Structure 1
Amino acid sequence: MSAQGIGLAGFVALLALIALRAPIGLALMIVGGGGLTLIHGWDTMLFVVSQAPVSALSNYTLSTLPMFLFMGVLAVRIGMADAMFTAANTFVGHRPGGLSMASILSCAGFGAVCGTSVATVSTMARIAVPPMLKLGYNSRLAGGSVAAGATLGILIPPSLPLIVYAIITETSIGRLFAAGFLPGLIATLFYMATVWVWLRFRPDYAPLGTRVSWRGRVASLRNIWGIAALFTLVMGGIFVGFFTPTEGAAIGAAGAMLVGVISRRLSMRVFREAIAETVQLSTMILFIVIGISFYEYFLQASRIPNAIVDFVTWMDLSPTGLILLLLAFFVLMGCVLDSIAILFIFTPVVFPLVQQAGFDPVWFGIIMVMVVEFGLLTPPIGMNVFLLSRVTPQISIIDAFAGVMPFVVADILRIALFIVFPGLVLFLPNLLFN
């Protein structure tokens, strides 16, 4: 069998292992090591085994992962999400669909310090869905707004998928964080507009809430000082150049502990649990990073990326056609793989195409992460939808999937906007870092 044939067989084997629930890192190592052995023999494979882990883990950017993860885990455990939802509800809760809009706003605000969609949906589902159902909201609207709103956590910095993309492509984390800010804000507005349009057709889905006085609204802002301070300190410091993303991650982790101490919600038990969860998540991701280093060696040996570049060149696609082809592929993969797996497995394959076509790697990273969001909402995996249904059993899985479909339409329109107007993505990083 040719090297490219082994490469294709390895790709199929990788998907099969992941479908069988094998850990992603282990699956990458098995396929990468086995493929290298078939192509170049044992000596090459053993050389890669001795070099790949050290080379993969010596990336300085990796040091941001555990610290940003710790900041997000601690934010969940000291109750920042509750305060964010309460504050958002006082401002928009009295409007049609106000609680759904408040859920979206609180997901965006909480995502600004959490950085992961899974933590956001599991936390906000417990906080926001019961009040909506109690007030008489339709379960589709209640579940859809939380499941979709939680995807904002992987776009608004600090974002775990953006860090993963930066590590794989060696793109500036600071520029990626800056590029994600405006699209995250626009995504929040699109989701809120989706609720408004939905209720124009189905006003019975959401009764009006109680109006809160301006004094009460201002008072609610006192409880979100921790989120505001952390985001301003970390992202503001990175954007204006006071410190690097790695230093910002350390400051964010220390700041989260300080907020917990001041608010008297950080006990030794909470601290130990946060450390344990951070170690578990960090170890899992670093194991995947080692696995992807094996897989990259295998890809280079099989010359699959070169073959893909040659094939796309032969197709003579326009830049727009290439982007649409890649996005359609990512949407398809999102139906069978989770978002982190897509980033780790396919970024090394498609990034040479992106470079050859002359696309800005920062712009493409934001577009790729937004498309990866689809996999969090669409069947058969729909991680956010399944988590929502598990946390809030009052909402069936069918209603939950039906509830996110209007937001998926909003996502398609939003991605089209950023493809037509790439300056919306690149304006802030160009302003701050050039």
Structure 2
Amino acid sequence: MTLVVVIVLLLLLLATGLPVAFSLGIAGTAGLVMFGGPSLLTGILSTAPGSAVGSYEFMTIPMFLLMAEFMVASRISDTLFSAIACWTARLPGGLGVATALTGAAFGAISGSSTAAAATLSKSSIPAMLAQGYERQFASGIVSISGTLAMLIPPSVAIIFYGLLSGASVAKLLVAGIIPGVLVTLVIIFTIWLLIWRKPSITGKTSTYTWAEKLSSLKVAGPFCALFLLVTGLIYLGIATPVESSAIGALGALVFTVISGRMTRAIFLQAVARTCATSAMIALIVISAQIFGYFITATGTTQRLVEAVGAAGLSPYTVLAFLVVLYLVLGCFLDQLSILILTIPIALPLIIKLGFDPIWFGILVILLAEVGMVTPPVGLNVFVVSKSTNTPVSEVFHGVWPHVAAHVALILVLIIFPQIVLWLPSTMGGRA
């Protein structure tokens, strides 16, 4: 009965629009008092905050956030789309392909899907419209391309899953590479399929000289170098994710200084934004742990595992239920909220059924990607709509083919989990 009351309280708090961190903290606190009294709550509050954010791996988040802030301050992202478009101009839907590749590149320096969608909206949609692309086709590409930031390392969502699950953050980050590449290719092939069905949705193409193409490499170079530096060190086992994130932040700082765009005001602004975002995430982690203690104390997870075992359901039946659940939750909640509400309960069940937690983490991130572009919330869709003054319904219409393609890819990764697990299995010794 206590569990039901607390869950109802949590849902009511979320329905009022209270931030998820406060909702979890209040519901978890109430549950602990109801279950074990004030002494249980006092004991947990005396240790939970320190253990939640005092972990070594948590430092990965502010370092990667700082790296992203410095790279945005360098304003290299403003010209990255144009640089990639030089090389994709002759391909069918060349600007759409460039948008997908830019989304992947932006994901290599920023773990924020909405930030990626906002950046792409300002650069790629005007260019596509100028070449005669249909607006809903162009906005759909941008909406789905922004989600790549959630999967391609460094991804805040992946790191957050690692903190919640206790799985290796290094292996999770590396595990996101191949699925990230596959998602990029799926977006590109979906673009080509849509053009094949209706060639009029794109317009004229541009041509570029070899001098312009070679000159564009000066822009793409820093992105590639930073990605290879950060991810390569983790993969080879030379550095831990925390060490690699610090090196990445330093590399981004050096590049921004060299580019001549670093000022005292920009530096302080980047640090302030990093601190604010890190504090927000820390509060979410602390609240999630308090709520998690309540779930553990009530034995909810253990009873759920036992109930599933007694029911005799096959592992894939349970997995199918969870996939549908995550797709539904994605329609209403952001990815971090989904993770903190479900992982403490779902992960022990998944492990009991014999599935790999690294693979499951990537699967959950992919499902959250779909949620970023599905109604009624679809944060990326609303970001693109607001940035381009495009009706929300038109953006949703343009993104549906990509949602279907994403779901097909998720099914492939469920059937062939080694696609996700192969690269982490080849990592160096410090992973």
Report the Cα distance in structure 2 between the residues aligned to 1:65 and 1:145, rounded to whole angstroms: 28
Residue 326 of structure 2 aligns with which residue?
A: 330
Asked if the contact 1:66–1:279 (Cα under 8 Å) also holds between the matched residues in 2, the reply is yes
2:247 matches 1:248: no
Q: Pick the aligned partner of 1:342 from 338, 345, 348.
A: 338
Greater CA drift, 339-348 or 308-317: 308-317
Asked if the contact 2:157–2:336 (Cα under 8 Å) also holds between the matched residues in 1, the reply is yes
The count of aligned residue pairs is 429
Structure 1 residues 149-298: aligned runs within 5 Å: 149-298=145-294
Q: How far is the alpha carbon of 1:307 from its aligned partner?
A: 2.5
Q: Pick the aligned partner of 1:81 from 68, 77, 80.
A: 77
2:355 matches 1:359: yes
Deviations 1:268-318 (A, max 9, x none): 222122111111110100000110111011101222212221232233222
Q: Secondary structure at the match of 2:46?
A: helix
Amino acid at match of 1:398: S
Residue 427 of structure 2 aligns with which residue?
A: 432
Residue 107 of structure 1 aligns with which residue?
A: 103
Report the Cα distance in structure 2 between the residues aligned to 1:148 and 1:191, rounded to whole angstroms: 8
Report the Cα distance in structure 2 between the residues aligned to 1:382 and 1:50, rounded to whole angstroms: 38
Question: What stretches of structure 2 of length at least 5 have no aligned partner?
Answer: none
Report the Cα distance in structure 1 between the residues aligned to 2:199 and 2:15, rounded to whole angstroms: 41
- Going from structure 1 to structure 2, the CA distance change for 1:432 and 1:212 (only over 3 Å counts) comes to same
2:93 matches 1:97: yes
Report the Cα distance in structure 2 between the residues aligned to 1:248 and 1:19, rounded to whole angstroms: 39
Asked if the contact 1:175–1:433 (Cα under 8 Å) also holds between the matched residues in 2, the reply is no
Residue 397 of structure 1 aligns with which residue?
A: 392
Report the Cα distance in structure 2 between the residues aligned to 1:398 and 1:359, rounded to whole angstroms: 38
Amino acid at match of 2:205: G
Amino acid at match of 2:160: V
Greater CA drift, 346-355 or 132-141: 132-141
Report the Cα distance in structure 1 between the residues aligned to 2:11 and 2:209, rounded to whole angstroms: 55
Asked if the contact 1:144–1:401 (Cα under 8 Å) also holds between the matched residues in 2, the reply is yes
Asked if the contact 2:83–2:220 (Cα under 8 Å) also holds between the matched residues in 1, the reply is yes
Report the Cα distance in structure 2 between the residues aligned to 1:8 and 1:77, rounded to whole angstroms: 47
Deviations 1:168-198 (A, max 9, x none): 1111111111110011001100000000001
Report the Cα distance in structure 1 between the residues aligned to 2:388 and 2:265, rounded to whole angstroms: 26
Residue 2 of structure 2 aligns with which residue?
A: 6
Asked if the contact 1:156–1:181 (Cα under 8 Å) also holds between the matched residues in 2, the reply is yes
Q: How far is the alpha carbon of 1:82 from its aligned partner?
A: 2.2
Amino acid at match of 1:414: L
Asked if the contact 2:73–2:256 (Cα under 8 Å) also holds between the matched residues in 1, the reply is no
Q: Secondary structure at the match of 1:432?
A: coil
Deviations 1:350-376 (A, max 9, x none): 011011011111111111110111210
Q: Secondary structure at the match of 2:333?
A: coil
Q: How far is the alpha carbon of 1:322 from its aligned partner?
A: 1.8
Asked if the contact 1:35–1:298 (Cα under 8 Å) also holds between the matched residues in 2, the reply is yes
Identical residues among aligned pairs (%): 36
Asked if the contact 1:125–1:146 (Cα under 8 Å) also holds between the matched residues in 2, the reply is yes
Q: How far is the alpha carbon of 1:39 from its aligned partner?
A: 1.0
2:385 matches 1:386: no
2:303 matches 1:307: yes
Q: How far is the alpha carbon of 1:141 from its aligned partner?
A: 1.0
Question: What stretches of structure 1 of length at least 5 have no aligned partner?
Answer: none
Greater CA drift, 381-390 or 302-311: 302-311
Q: How far is the alpha carbon of 1:256 from its aligned partner?
A: 0.7
- Going from structure 1 to structure 2, the CA distance change for 1:214 and 1:322 (only over 3 Å counts) comes to farther
Report the Cα distance in structure 1 between the residues aligned to 2:208 and 2:396, rounded to whole angstroms: 32
Asked if the contact 1:114–1:120 (Cα under 8 Å) also holds between the matched residues in 2, the reply is yes
Residue 312 of structure 2 aligns with which residue?
A: 316
Q: Secondary structure at the match of 2:377?
A: coil
TM-score by length of 1: 0.96
2:57 matches 1:69: no
Asked if the contact 1:133–1:139 (Cα under 8 Å) also holds between the matched residues in 2, the reply is yes
Q: How far is the alpha carbon of 1:202 from its aligned partner?
A: 1.5
Q: Secondary structure at the match of 1:114?
A: coil
Residue 404 of structure 2 aligns with which residue?
A: 409
2:418 matches 1:423: yes
Greater CA drift, 253-262 or 217-226: 217-226
Residue 123 of structure 2 aligns with which residue?
A: 127
Q: How far is the alpha carbon of 1:433 from its aligned partner?
A: 4.2
